[in-house]
Structures are given as C-alpha cells and as structure tokens.
C-alpha cells in the first residue's frame, strides 16, 4: 500500500480558486469545517525547519519529567542555519538534538553520525530548504522581492506568531488527539498506533 495517493500543492490550489472565480476578499466570514479536527500551535510550526523538533520537545519534556512545561519556546532549535545542534535540559536529563534542512545539509549531518563524529538522541531532517513553508509547491516570490526579504525567515516567523496566539501549544493537549487515542488507538506506542502511524525503511539499490 502506498503512503501517498495524491498530492495537491498550494500553487495548484491557488490556481483552482482563481479558475473557480472565488474572491476571498468578498466572502462572508465563517468557521472552518472540523474535518481534520482541532489544531495546536505545535502542529502549526511543523512547517518550519526545527518545528517538528520543537513540537516533540514540548511533549517529551512533560512525559519525561512529569512536570508542566511553562515556557514552550525552544529558541535553540529555531533559525535557518543549515544544520543546528542543541543540548536540551529536561529537568536534569540532557539530550542532544540536531536539525538539518535541504538534502545537502542532511547528507552532512548523517555523514557526521555515521563517521562517529556526532551522537544525538533525536534528529529532524526536512528535504526542503527552510522546511515545508518554502517547498517546491509553495507560492513563488518575485525575484525583485528576494532582494529585500528571505521567504524562509518570513514564513517561519508567521508560523511562530500563529503558534503563539493558539490557546493549545502542545500536541498532546489537542482535544482531537486525546479523543483519537481514547476512542481508537488506545495509548502511544500501542500495537494499533505502531501499525498505523509508524513506517519502516530499507536500503534500496540505485536505479540505473
């Protein structure tokens, strides 16, 4: 079974909206359909490099320590450096983490691990430079604007602002996630959760 059946990019969606003649500036205000459930600030920042790491750390801290995380912002894993490293203190338990974005940076990070130069407890790798917010299907910035702004920085900034304004900042506090586990998955790392939410990889020879 394939993991992905189809993909709709942001640019394709924008073209569909224009083709349908939908003018968002003149639409009446309304609420989003709850098709995919509630979202958390942690879910929002998944789109920026370092966002998956930060979202996970917010939950990991509380799971490991049993204490409430007061300051949910992990500034050390933010930013657009190609490879970022940080040591996170979980109330006395220190873990080493690393983040890479872009395939070239990902290769450097993985090589450093394979060569024994670095050791980490948790790594995040995103293929697109800057993360999903500047991926191949996102709106293209005019070359004239690129002289004054960096879309990786500005789009990540927008995600962090959205995160900060969300009343739910941690993934495990999302009511929809809690209901999913209570009604269907049972608990984290249950057999059903592992079967449906985890994936496995194996070496594949190069295609000639």
Question: In the predicted model, what is the mean pLDDT of residues 45-58?
Answer: 98
Strand partners, 96: 87
**pLDDT band for position 32 (cuts 50, 70, 90):** confident
Tokens describing residue 16:
């569909």
Do 96 and 119 touch, CB atoms closer than 8 A?
Answer: yes
- Tens of pLDDT, residues 1-25: 677 889 999 999 999 999 999 998 8
What is the rounded distance in angstroms from the CA atom of residue 200 to the CA atom of residue 1?
13
- Tens of pLDDT, residues 103-136: 999 999 999 999 999 999 999 999 999 999 999 8
Scored b (16 or more CB within 10 A) or e, 131-153 reads bbbbeeebeeeeeeeeeeeebbe
Backbone angles phi, psi at 135, to 5 degrees: -75, 175
Do 15 and 139 touch, CB atoms closer than 8 A?
Answer: no
Q: What was the pLDDT predicted at 125? A: 97
The pTM is what?
0.87
Taking 80 as the threshold, does the pLDDT of residue 37 lie above it? Answer: no
Domain residue spans of the chain: 41-169
Give percent of the chain with pLDDT exceeding 90: 77
- Tens of pLDDT, residues 180-205: 999 999 999 999 999 999 888 888 88
Scored b (16 or more CB within 10 A) or e, 188-197 reads eeeeebeeee
Element (H, E) at 89: strand 83-90
Question: In the predicted model, what is the mean pLDDT of residues 148-163?
Answer: 95
Taking 90 as the threshold, does the pLDDT of residue 33 lie above it? Answer: no
Tokens describing residue 145:
């604007």
Taking 90 as the threshold, does the pLDDT of residue 164 lie above it? Answer: yes
State the architecture of 41-169 in CATH terms.
3-Layer(aba) Sandwich (3.40)
**pLDDT band for position 208 (cuts 50, 70, 90):** low
What is the rounded distance in angstroms from the CA atom of residue 47 to the CA atom of residue 132?
5
């Amino acid at each position: 079974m394939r993991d992905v059946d189809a993909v709709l990019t942001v640019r394709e969606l924008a073209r569909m909206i224009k083709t349908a003649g939908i003018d968002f500036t003149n639409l009446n205000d309304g609420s989003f359909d709850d098709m995919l459930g509630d979202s958390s600030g942690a879910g929002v920042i998944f789109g920026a490099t370092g966002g998956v790491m930060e979202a996970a750390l917010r939950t990991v801290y509380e799971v490991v320590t049993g204490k409430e995380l007061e300051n949910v912002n992990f500034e050390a894993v933010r930013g657009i450096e190609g490879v970022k490293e940080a040591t996170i203190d979980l109330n006395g338990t220190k873990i080493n983490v690393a983040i890479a974005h872009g395939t070239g940076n990902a290769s450097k990070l993985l090589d450093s691990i394979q060569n024994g130069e670095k050791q980490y407890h948790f790594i995040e790798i995103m293929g697109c430079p800057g993360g999903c917010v500047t991926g191949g299907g996102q709106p293209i910035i005019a070359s004239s604007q690129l002289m004054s702004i960096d879309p990786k920085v500005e789009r990540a900034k927008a995600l962090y602002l959205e995160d900060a304004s969300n009343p739910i900042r941690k993934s495990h506090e999302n009511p929809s996630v809690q209901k999913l586990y209570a009604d269907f998955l049972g608990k984290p790392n249950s057999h059903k959760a592992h079967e449906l939410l985890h994936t496995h990889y194996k070496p594949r020879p190069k295609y000639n």
